[in-house]
Structure 1
Amino acid sequence: MTALANLTRSLSPSSIAPFINKLMENYKTRRPMYISVILFFGIYLIFNKITRVPARLRHIPQAKFFPYLKSIISFESYDETASKITLPASKKSKEGLYVVFDAYGWTVHVTRPEAAKKVLFKTDLFPKISTGDRRETLFGRFAMGPSLPFLNGPQWKAQRKVANPAFHRSMPINLFGELTQKLFNQYDKMLDKPIPFHELMIRWTLDAIGIAGFDFDFNAIDDPTSVWVVRYNTIMKAFSNPLFVVFPSLETRWISLFPKQKQAHVELTAFLNNIQEIIKKKRETLANEELSGATTKKQNDRDLLTLMLEASAEGNGTLTDEELQYNLCAFFTGGHDTTSNQLSFAAYNLAANPEIQEKAREEAIRLLGDEPKDIIPSADQLREMPYINMFIKENLRHNGTATMVFARKTEEDTDLEGVFIPKDTPVVVDLYEIHHNESIWTNPFKFDPERFVPGGEADQLAKMGSTWLPFGNGQRICIGMNFSLAEQRVFLPMLLRKYELSLPENSIHKDKVVMNGYGVVSPKDLQITLKRRY
Structure 2
Amino acid sequence: MDYHFSNGDRTYRKLATPAFNSALSPEMVGETTLDLISFIQQNLNRPIDVFEIMQRTKIEVLGKLAFGYKFDRNEIKKNPLKGHDLLTSHDTTSMSLNVSLYYLAKYPEMQEKAREEVISVLGNYPNTIPNSDQLKKIKGTSQDWKTYFANKHHSHNIPFAWIPFSAGPRNCMGQKFSLMEQLVIISMLLLKYNWTLPNNIINKDKLLLAPRFLLRPVDLKLIFTERIN
TM-score by length of 1: 0.40
CA drift of 1:507 comes to 0.6
Q: Distance in 1 between matches of 2:40 and 2:128?
A: 17
Q: What whole-Å deviation, never above 9, does each CA across 1:200-250 have from its counterpart, x for those lacking one?
A: 111111101111123222222xx2xx2x553334996xxxxxxxxxxxxxx
Task: Verify the 8 A CA contact 1:172 1:212 in the aligned structure 2.
Answer: no
Counterpart position of 1:203: 56
Q: Distance in 2 between matches of 1:213 and 1:333?
A: 13
CA drift of 1:391 comes to 5.2
2:208 to 510, 514, 521: 514
Q: What whole-Å deviation, never above 9, does each CA across 1:293-328 have from its counterpart, x for those lacking one?
A: xxxxxxxxxxxxxxxxxxxxxxxxxxxxxxxxxxxx
Counterpart position of 1:123: 3
Counterpart position of 1:7: none
- Tell me which amino acid in the other structure corresponds to 2:191: R
1:363 aligns with 2:117: yes
1:167 aligns with 2:15: no
1:385 to 138, 147, 151: 138
1:493 aligns with 2:187: yes
1:347 aligns with 2:101: yes
Counterpart position of 1:52: none
- Tell me which amino acid in the other structure corresponds to 1:481: Q
Counterpart position of 1:474: 168
CA drift of 1:177 comes to 0.6
Q: How does 1:1-12 map to 2 (within 5 A)?
A: none
Q: How does 1:282-301 map to 2 (within 5 A)?
A: none
TM-score by length of 2: 0.88
1:375 aligns with 2:128: yes
**Could you tell me the percent identity over the aligned residues?**
34
Counterpart position of 1:231: 79
- Tell me which amino acid in the other structure corresponds to 2:3: T
Q: RMSD of aligned C-alpha atoms?
A: 2.6
Task: Verify the 8 A CA contact 1:173 1:490 in the aligned structure 2.
Answer: yes
Counterpart position of 1:156: 9
Q: How does 1:90-489 map to 2 (within 5 A)?
A: 118=1, 122-124=2-4, 152-220=5-73, 223=74, 226=75, 229-233=77-81, 329=86, 332-334=87-89, 336-371=90-125, 373-390=126-143, 393=146, 446=153, 466=160, 468-489=162-183
Cα gap change, 1:192 to 1:518, in 2 (>3 Å)? closer
User: RCO higher in 1 or 2 (8 Å CA, sep ≥ 6)?
Assistant: 2
Unaligned runs of 5+ in 2: none
Task: Verify the 8 A CA contact 1:191 1:530 in the aligned structure 2.
Answer: yes
What's the secondary structure of 2:173's corresponding residue?
Answer: coil
Task: Verify the 8 A CA contact 1:361 1:496 in the aligned structure 2.
Answer: yes
- Tell me which amino acid in the other structure corresponds to 1:212: L
Q: Distance in 2 between matches of 1:490 and 1:447?
A: 28
Q: Distance in 2 between matches of 1:202 and 1:469?
A: 22
Cα gap change, 1:345 to 1:196, in 2 (>3 Å)? same
Q: What whole-Å deviation, never above 9, does each CA across 1:162-195 have from its counterpart, x for those lacking one?
A: 2122122111210111111111111011114112
- Tell me which amino acid in the other structure corresponds to 2:153: K
Task: Verify the 8 A CA contact 1:500 1:532 in the aligned structure 2.
Answer: yes
- State which structure, 1 or 2, has the greater radius of gyration over its C-alpha atoms: 1
Q: Distance in 1 between matches of 2:39 and 2:183?
A: 20
Task: Verify the 8 A CA contact 2:17 2:173 in the aligned structure 1.
Answer: yes
Q: What whole-Å deviation, never above 9, does each CA across 1:500-525 have from its counterpart, x for those lacking one?
A: 11100001101100112256212112
